[in-house]
Amino acid sequence: MYEGAHDAIVNLAKDETCVLGIATGKSQRGVVRLLERYELTSYFETIQTADDAPSKPHPGMIHQALEETGAEPHMAIMIGDTTFDMAMARNAGVTALGVSWGYHPVEDLHDEGAHGVADDYAHLMDLLGDHFGKQAVK
């Protein structure tokens, strides 16, 4: 887990207007094991994996997450580190935010339609706050 990820998840989960979900190419079993290891299982309302829907960039995982949580696409954000994440978000009609510390170069994330790319977790919280019209998500 990247440094700062645990705190970011916990802090976002404290915001009662925020619903957290996962959409990943990993298996359900692998995700559950990771969340249990870091004691994060209870923070996520929906977990969508390649076991449950077509792989990225198909929008199926996001559509299923929206349906499970009752969220509207205009209020949803996909945060990811690959061009596949950005394409999936765009295909699902949700905001795409990239992070610079992952697998694909920042330029490629922008080229694939990222609405913004964060350089660290503080910057990510600012981008989330900008999207939701808040000073910053804390």
CATH class of 5-131: alpha beta
The span from the CA of 105 to the CA of 37, in Å, is 29
Going through the chain in order, the beta strands assigned E by DSSP cover 21-24, 46-49, 77-80, 95-99, 116-118
Residue labelled with tokens 């700062």: 4
pLDDT in tens, 20-39: 999 999 999 999 999 999 99
pLDDT in tens, 74-126: 999 999 999 999 999 999 999 999 999 988 999 999 999 999 999 999 999 99
The domain spans of the chain are: 5-131
Q: Confirm if 82 and 63 have CB atoms less than 8 A apart.
A: no
Tell me the whole-structure pTM to 2 decimals. Answer: 0.91
The span from the CA of 19 to the CA of 10, in Å, is 12
The span from the CA of 45 to the CA of 37, in Å, is 18
Structure tokens at 112: 């694939």
